Amino acid sequence: MKLSEIRKQMTAIFLAGKEYEKVKEDGYTNFSYPKFPKLMKFNTERYKVPGFGNFMTMHTKMIFGMELLTTSFMPGEGVSVPYCLIDIMVAGNKRTVFIEYYDCRAEKTEMERLIVVADRFANLVEYVERPKWYVGERTPYSLIKRGEAADDLKLLDMIINSVEEYRKEADNAGVDEANIAGLKKFRERMINEGNPSSSVLEKVFGKEGAKKFFTTCVMPIDE
């Protein structure tokens, strides 16, 4: 499973036919931890997507060949879809895929396409997590799965299908400015109560720097 190729596929699917602006390279584009030796190397790509909000991918390469791809779909303009966060981890023969939806909308209508995707891939092996506050905040149609190299095609199909159907939901959704308040509230909880990348980002940037990275790159809201 080549995460660099999956990154390209996900980006192409979500941005195809849209007007967007790629954020210029800055201090958040390439960084590492620690500075020497560079045990973890990060590369981010960020896009402003008018009519939706923001889109970010972050590819992390670690020692011993471990890799992580984080993709954040932030409907920061109030589009009536859940916030979507996708994490894909490869470690040797092991694969873990988190397709997480957090419904911050003022009116929580059914996301029929996402429910269909969840049903389609329900038979894949579940990844058992440690209890965290945000786990209970996910929608029932989130997909938290694991597998091995032999399962790559099934897991890739799940990832691509999820991005395709999420985009369709976003393209057909209305806009409600009341949704922005929900996103802000959830973002504050992710920062203050902890998120999957909190410990790593705080090591790289410090506590305040990690907060700024989160609000600037992961869950930005233009104000």
CA distances from 102 to 24, 121, 162 (A): 28, 19, 14
Q: Which domain holds residue 129?
A: 3-218
Could you report the per-residue pLDDT of 21-37, keeping only the tens digit for each?
999 999 999 999 987 88
- The C-alpha atoms of residue 132 and residue 135 are separated, in whole angstroms, by 6
Residue 112 lies inside a defined structural domain of this protein:
yes
Domain count, the chain: 1
Residue 70 lies inside a defined structural domain of this protein:
yes
Residue 32 lies inside a defined structural domain of this protein:
yes
Return the pLDDT at 158.
98
Contacts of 203 (CB under 8 A, 6+ apart): 33
48, 201 Cβ separation under 8 angstroms: no
Return the top range by mean pLDDT from 141-145, 191-195, 218-222. Answer: 141-145
Return the pLDDT at 37.
87
Residue 199 lies inside a defined structural domain of this protein:
yes
Residue 223 lies inside a defined structural domain of this protein:
no
How much is the pTM? 0.96
Return the pLDDT at 63.
86
Give the confidence band of 196 by pLDDT, cuts at 50, 70, 90. confident
Angle between helices 3-15 and 152-171 (to 10 degrees): 20
Residue 14 lies inside a defined structural domain of this protein:
yes
Two structure tokens written together for 208: 């305040």
- The C-alpha atoms of residue 87 and residue 11 are separated, in whole angstroms, by 14
104, 185 Cβ separation under 8 angstroms: yes
- The C-alpha atoms of residue 66 and residue 36 are separated, in whole angstroms, by 18
Residue 80 lies inside a defined structural domain of this protein:
yes
- The C-alpha atoms of residue 204 and residue 116 are separated, in whole angstroms, by 39
Give the least confident one: 67-81, 88-102, 186-200: 186-200
3-state secondary structure the chain: CCHHHHHHHHHHHHHCCCCCEECCCCCCCEEEECCCCCCEEEEEEEEEECCCEEEEEEEEEEHHHCEEEEEEEECCCCECCCEEEEEEEEECCEEEEEEEEECCCCCCCCCHHHHHHHHHCCCCCECCCCCCHHHHHECCCCEEEEEEHHHHHHHHHHHHHHHHHHHHHHHCCCECCHHHHHHHHHHHHHHHCCCCCHHHHHHHHHHHHHHHHHHHHHCCCCC
- The C-alpha atoms of residue 199 and residue 183 are separated, in whole angstroms, by 22
Residue 152 belongs to domain with CATH number:
3.40.1500.20
Q: Please state, for a pLDDT cut of 90, what percent of the chain lies above it.
A: 88
- The C-alpha atoms of residue 55 and residue 22 are separated, in whole angstroms, by 9
Residue 19 lies inside a defined structural domain of this protein:
yes
pLDDT at 223 over 70: no
For the chain, the distance separating the N- and C-terminal CA atoms, rounded to the nearest angstrom, is: 38
